[in-house]
């Protein structure tokens, strides 16, 4: 959960309480045009903070916050930062893959995680399989999801298996019913 933030704007000072903006004196919600400006200023401040953090676990938590706040670009930037600090960190690669997919960039998601495609990390393999589904590469997606299941993806793989079945037009023989 993001901490309470205070930002000055030309019409006064506003507080972000984690779910909404309000004026410090009137406690009224600002006009939409000001909310847009405040959101941009908040995002800029958060991105600057992200760059200063070197603790990987803190960055992972911030990536989840960014995802929850629908800040997918920021989520991807945080994942890239984690990978700069700790190359080969599977969780960061999965976050990056997911962030790029959420930005409708599945080809880039695959490219960004290509060097880690042989990982035994089920969530990353499932994310890569989902990106392949986004690109309608059904056979490759099936192969990737089989690898994910072989390393214990379990129920995490189920939605992707269903996408493969519905997209490819033939049943996916992956062990998930």
- Per-residue pLDDT reduced to its tens digit, 42-84: 999 999 999 999 999 999 999 999 998 899 999 999 999 999 9
- Mean pLDDT (whole number) for 10-36: 89
- The strands making up 12-16's β-sheet, listed across from edge to edge, are 5-9, 12-16, 21-23
The pLDDT value recorded for residue 173 is 53
The pLDDT value recorded for residue 167 is 85
pLDDT at 171 over 70: no
- Residue 2: band (very low, low, confident or very high) from pLDDT cuts 50, 70, 90: low
| Cα gap 60→89, rounded to integer Å | 11
Around Cβ 22, how many Cβ atoms within 10 Å?
A: 14
CA distances from 175 to 150, 153, 162 (A): 9, 11, 12
pLDDT at 113 over 50: yes
């Amino acid at each position: 959960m993001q901490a309470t933030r205070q930002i000055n704007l030309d019409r006064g000072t506003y507080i972000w309480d984690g779910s909404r903006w309000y004026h410090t004196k009137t406690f009224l919600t600002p006009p939409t045009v000001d909310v847009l400006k405040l959101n941009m200023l908040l995002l800029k401040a958060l991105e600057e903070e992200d760059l200063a953090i070197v603790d990987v676990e803190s960055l992972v938590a911030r990536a989840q916050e960014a995802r929850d706040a629908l800040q997918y670009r920021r989520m991807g930037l945080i994942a890239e930062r984690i990978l700069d600090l700790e190359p080969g960190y599977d969780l960061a690669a999965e976050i990056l893959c997911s962030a790029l997919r959420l930005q409708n960039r599945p080809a880039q998601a695959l490219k960004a995680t290509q060097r880690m495609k042989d990982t035994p990390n089920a969530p990353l393999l499932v994310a890569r399989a989902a990106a392949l589904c986004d690109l309608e590469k059904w056979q490759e997606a099936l192969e990737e999801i089989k690898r994910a299941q072989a390393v214990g993806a379990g129920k995490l793989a189920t939605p992707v298996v269903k996408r493969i079945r519905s997209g490819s037009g033939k049943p996916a023989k992956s062990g998930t019913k």
